[in-house]
Chain A
Amino acid sequence: MTITDFDFICQILKARSGLVLTNDKAYLLESRLLPVARKWKLATFDDLVRLIRSKNDEAVIRDVVEAMTTNESFFFRDTKPFDQFKQICLPAMLKSRAGAKSLRIWSAACSSGQEAYSLAMILTEMAPQLAGWRIDIVGTDLSNEILQRAKDGMYSQFEVQRGLPITLLVKYFTQVGDRWKISDKIRQMVQYKEWNLLNDPAPLGKFDIVFCRNVLIYFDQPTKAKVLAGIAKQMPDDGYLFLGGAETVLGISDKFQLLPGQRGIYGLTGGIKPPASLTPPGFATPR
């Protein structure tokens, strides 16, 4: 791979998806794009670059972007955010939305759907408290191919063993050969939509809770700020934003601030915070 080829692909990725590829990730280009090259009946990465340069074929470029932006996902990834969702966000929302009985949740860059389905399983386990509620879970991703996998809800034995408690596997999945299919009930709770996070999310509507984890790490500062501003605009004052463990808003956006005492959950700056009775330990009460 030549430096020019590397830069050429990087420019495409940045423009199409916001993905910023640093030099130390050059190895990823070859390993992930070789299968794309093969799909288009080409032998090497270099041939693939040549094809894009000469034909500028939209379908090929699309495959390249999808291959580079698709990331693995687990059920209940990192555990903690899902505990926080259950113990902090939901109780607060159950109170504040008691009148409207409606809740909208966005799993941004949802990949093969594990995060969205994990949330759907939590909500189903809490069904008695949510009787009469309308809950929308929207999963979006840039990749149409991965969204198809999410919609199918079919997972390998390996995938259902990382993060998913066995009791939930038994309850919400059926075995199909050596694979596991999520139940229709859970599947129907999530709507999937192809969406580029670089676009203004207004058409997606308002969201009370947004999961946007392990996505910002791939973007440069201005792109991070833009994505965060877009999310902020779609959120009510008391909404919650979940970011990945290695992500922060510090020095990037003043739209959000960390919920005191809680790692990974952010609220709108100046927004309404959870009532004192739900205040997690370490939450500083304003005087």
Chain B
Amino acid sequence: MKSCLVVDDSKVVRMVARKILEGLNFQVVEADNGQTAMDQCVKEMPDAILLDWNMPVMSGIDFLRLLRKADGGQTPIVVFCTTENDIQHIQEAIAAGANEYIMKPFDSEIIESKFSQVGLI
């Protein structure tokens, strides 16, 4: 079973994402900002990370830059999932090492389609 870390400061979004991902056979771990996500990754690198952009304490993009420099931080497949839907944000995310990008609102079909594109399912 593959693992996915869901990073979002909204409890509701995390819950919806968890439900979808568990339906796709992922073991889900949650974090509510970039810092707690980083702590989790140091403990154990997940196979996939579904990542929000705007969060308190540490943003998604700062987390991603930190992750990609960290030991073993190249391996997780990172899929951004954010309301930031302009091309500048998307390009910035790709440059920082994101593998895919979902513009909110999302549904199970979008998650499934994006996860299968990057070879997670």
A residues adjacent to B (C-beta < 8 A): 74, 79, 157-158, 161-163, 165-167, 169-170, 174-175, 178
Contacts and interface: CB of A to CB of B under 8 A. Distances in A.
B95 to A, nearest CB: 11
Interface residues of B, number: 18
B93 to A, nearest CB: 8
Given A157-B85, A161-B103, A169 B90 contact: yes
Interface in B66-121: 85-87, 90-91, 94, 98, 100-103, 106, 109-110, 113-114, 116-117
Nearest to A167: B94
Contacts, number: 35
Contacts of B113: 74, 161-163
Nearest to A160: B103
Contact of A157 (B98, B103, B116, B117): B103
A166 B110 contact: no
Contacts of B110: 158, 161-162
Contacts of B98: 166
B116 A166 contact: no
B16 to A, nearest CB: 16
A166 B87 contact: no
Contacts of A165: 100, 117
A210 B87 CA distance: 34
B51 to A, nearest CB: 13
Nearest to A174: B87
Nearest to A173: B87
Interface in B35-62: none
Given A79-B116, A161-B113, A166 B100 contact: yes
Contacts of B94: 166-167, 170
A198 B107 CA distance: 37
A167 B94 CA distance: 8
A86 B94 CA distance: 25
Contacts of B85: 157, 175, 178
